[in-house]
Amino acid sequence: MRAGLYARVSTHDQQTLPMQISAMSDYVSHRGWEILREVSEVASGATLRPQREEIMKAARRRELDVIVVWRLDRWGRSVTDLLSSLNELQELGVGFVSLTEALDMTTASGRALAGMLAVFAEFEREILRDRVKAGIAQARKEGRPHGRPPTAKRKSKKVWALAQDGMRPGYIAKKLGISRTSVRRILANGEPENP
């Protein structure tokens, strides 16, 4: 069997990428399959996934017999997207294996389980989304900070010092590891006390 491996991480959990690839490679080797294509992608759930589309194109060209993923939610953006892509793979005669859920779409029970898991995965994401929104609302109500820490604001004295040395905002941003917009915002807000 000619296998394609697809690994995806969100920008905040990039450390799992090597673990996903290793687990999939071990599985494929154990089954005696050949790894024909291996793709990795760093993308959040809402963005386009060009690497996933490339592996789907390979499946449409009949270059792959099976696609292996580490976890079902690494493949599908939503229940609709997941079921649509799995149905397309089934029509193409390409198998689909998700290691974490022990899902093998080459069997009828595997296809039924995939549908149920997709529904529960979407349900879990909705619950998480609701919890995050509730936490943010509570933090705002209590006047507590939420979201990313204000890293650029903490560097405002350094921004001003570099600006006074004649450095351009783009260079300052690169040097300090913050965005140009943040540099411009700091400079527009006026010089901090005791720069």
Clarify whether 10 is annotated catalytic.
yes
CA–CA distance, 193 with 195 (Å, rounded to integer): 6
Within 10 angstroms of residue 36's Cβ, the number of other Cβ atoms is 16
Question: Dihedral (C-alpha) 180, 182, 188, 189: value to the nearest 10 degrees?
Answer: -170
Strand order from edge to edge, sheet including 34-42: 34-42, 2-9, 66-69, 95-98, 103-104
Q: Which of 10, 44, 84, 179 is catalytic?
A: 10
Sequence-distant (≥ 6) Cβ neighbours of residue 131 within 8 angstroms: none
Describe the chain by its helix, strand, coil percentages, rounded to 5.
60, 15, 25
Q: Phi first, then psi: what are they for 95, rounded to 5°?
A: -75, 165
Please give the single-letter amino acid code of residue 66. Answer: V
Just list the catalytic residues: 10
